[in-house]
Amino acid sequence: MRSMQELDPKDWDRLIDINLTGSYNVLRLTLERMRAQKNGLVILINSVAGRRSVPLAGIGYNASKFGMSGLGVGVAEEEKENGIRITNLYPGEVNTPILENRKQPPSVEHRESILQPEDVASVVHHICGLPDRVHIPELIIKPAQQSFV
């Protein structure tokens, strides 16, 4: 139930609460600690749906992830003088258990062709290893065969 016509207002609220309000709450508490040390890196694991409207994701998920993008970019600007860097990481389709929640879960072959959790972890590890003078505001990682239009 992902289209505007099908999406129940309660499901809309749930998506916003989890993806946007949840990110805000965690970020707010994290920043309190980072400001005191005048240094920090936050990587918000977003989704390509936060950069492009993805029909498979649905309007509620897309909207919540676009909001998360704005949160990350805006707070990074506010906190740069405190030495805090925020990266919005936008992974495409990743082989995780949540794929089982789709009306038609993907095949084993499809799951093997998309990003694996260790692919995303590798990117996060690389970002974390960069010197404090380096800031990557946004980074998109997607399966080679996934569209990005």
The residues assigned a catalytic role are 61
2 CB neighbour count, 10 Å cutoff:
19
